[in-house]
Amino acid sequence: MKNRKDFIVTEMERKFLEHPQAAAEALDGCARICVEFLYRARPRDLAACAVFDYALRSRFDEVARSDRGAVLFLCADEDVASSLDPILEGYPALRTAWAVINPPVLVPGSEDADSTTPTRAHWDDAGCWTQMAYSDRWARIRFALDVGMRLNAPAALIMPAHDAVWGRGLLNRLVAASHRYGTASTPAAVSPYTPYAHGPVPGVDLPDWAIDAINAAFNRDFWLRWRMARGRYQSFWGKTGLIPSVLCAEVLRRADPRVWEDDLEIDRAIREAAGPVRALWIGNPRLYRQVLPIFDEVALRRVIDRTLHYSLNIPAKTLAGSSLLMTELAWPLRLRRILDRRYDRAIALADRLAADCLSDARARLASTGMTWIDWGNYRYVVRPGDPFVQVWFHNDCL
């Protein structure tokens, strides 16, 4: 392996690689590769930026401590990449590789093309929308998997979300679990799962009611830990998921990028390939948790709305399969609502916002047969019972 000083990156030296093979060669010898999906630049708002930086630095710190660690940055554009320079100044020896990755335009006339959607949905500037083949996240996942399958030596690709906070020792624990739950020839894909879906950030005034509401909203399934431990639930998660390089080719071949809920689809692809996969329940927030830039009810509603839309396109008898809409809590949580007024307020707020989001979605479904959510640069169109989403990009029509 080359000396780490050879990989000191400055703005002048940053090179964007166009092909997965070039990225694999740049990462030759790395055993733990953190893949950062950067769909937008660091936030301009100071408080939101502080939350973003806190989580990102936690991941950089863990990679920097790791033996043969590196970061693969997959960015929307070069401006997004350059926005990280103030943070990277603190990690001069961090080994990196860079690429600009965005989804391809869907070929007109292909099976999934539907040029009528913007008009039927009554969008503004109906003629200014372009349908993409799949999401920007899927484009970056596919590139990362392509890189992984080309590596000369075994490695672990770890793909975190922006809100994932890594504590000291998390990577060692994930790698150890990957080998413990794998086979003689194939380490397991593993994901940490935390009940701490939101939490405080030092120096940032995040409201307690928002932290309480997020944690209450995403922890309604009291028996989830039990089912995970017995392999009776999804095991690969998008907040942080480790995929051994030996599994990358099979996942790339089997996973359908038209499915919006990519972590669930990756989980399915791994199982279909008979690959080992395991979720690790981590109840220590110092080791692993998430943080979100939620400062008001509008931002809280946006998170709930997006999560709700994930479930709308999963084939099911009910409109949505999300635990956000679980009305019957297990008896320990019902008892907690009685005894803990703060928890009761948190559940009530989450219930109200979820009901509002569902009401808006139902109204769009009644009038157009579809509903949608904007996230990043794209609009996602979902239809109940259809696992595939349409992805649209708004052009600047002058």
Interior angle at CA 312, CA 307 and CA 316, nearest 5: 130
Average pLDDT of span 220-240: 89
Interior angle at CA 381, CA 80 and CA 304, nearest 5: 70
Residues 235-269: tens digit of each pLDDT: 999 999 999 999 999 999 999 999 988 999 999 99
Q: pTM (2 decimals)?
A: 0.93
Kindly tell me if the per-residue pLDDT of 5 is higher than 50. Answer: no
Q: Are 121 and 368 in contact (CB under 8 A)?
A: yes
Instruction: Quote the pLDDT of residue 46.
Output: 97
Of 127 and 326, the structure prediction assigns the larger pLDDT to 127
Of 303 and 328, the structure prediction assigns the larger pLDDT to 303
Instruction: Quote the pLDDT of residue 311.
Output: 80
Q: What region does 81 belong to: left with phi over 0, alpha with psi -120 to 50, or beta?
A: alpha
Instruction: Quote the pLDDT of residue 14.
Output: 86
Kindly tell me the number of DSSP H helices and DSSP E strands found in the chain.
Answer: 14, 13
**Local structure of 136: helix, strand or coil:** helix
Cβ-based neighbours of 355, under 8 Å, separated by 6 or more = none
- pLDDT > 70 fraction of the chain, expressed in percent and rounded: 93
Residues 316-330: tens digit of each pLDDT: 444 444 677 666 888
Kindly tell me if the per-residue pLDDT of 11 is higher than 60. Answer: no
Residues 101-113: tens digit of each pLDDT: 999 999 988 989 9
Average pLDDT of span 339-356: 95
- The whole-chain average pLDDT of the chain stands at 92
Instruction: Quote the pLDDT of residue 386.
Output: 85
Average pLDDT of span 332-358: 94
- pLDDT > 90 fraction of the chain, expressed in percent and rounded: 81
Helix axes 170-180, 46-65, angle to 10 degrees: 60
Average pLDDT of span 357-383: 94
Average pLDDT of span 289-306: 97
Q: Tell me which long-range contacts 87-92 makes (C-beta under 8 A, separation of at least 24).
A: 87/42, 87/53, 87/56, 87/57, 87/60, 88/9, 90/57, 90/60, 91/60, 91/64, 92/8
Instruction: Quote the pLDDT of residue 8.
Output: 38
Average pLDDT of span 132-149: 98
| Side chain identity, residue 59 | R
Average pLDDT of span 335-357: 95
Of 157 and 313, the structure prediction assigns the larger pLDDT to 157
Q: Is the C-alpha dihedral spanning 220, 221, 226, 230 positive or negative?
A: negative
Radius of gyration of the chain (CA): 21
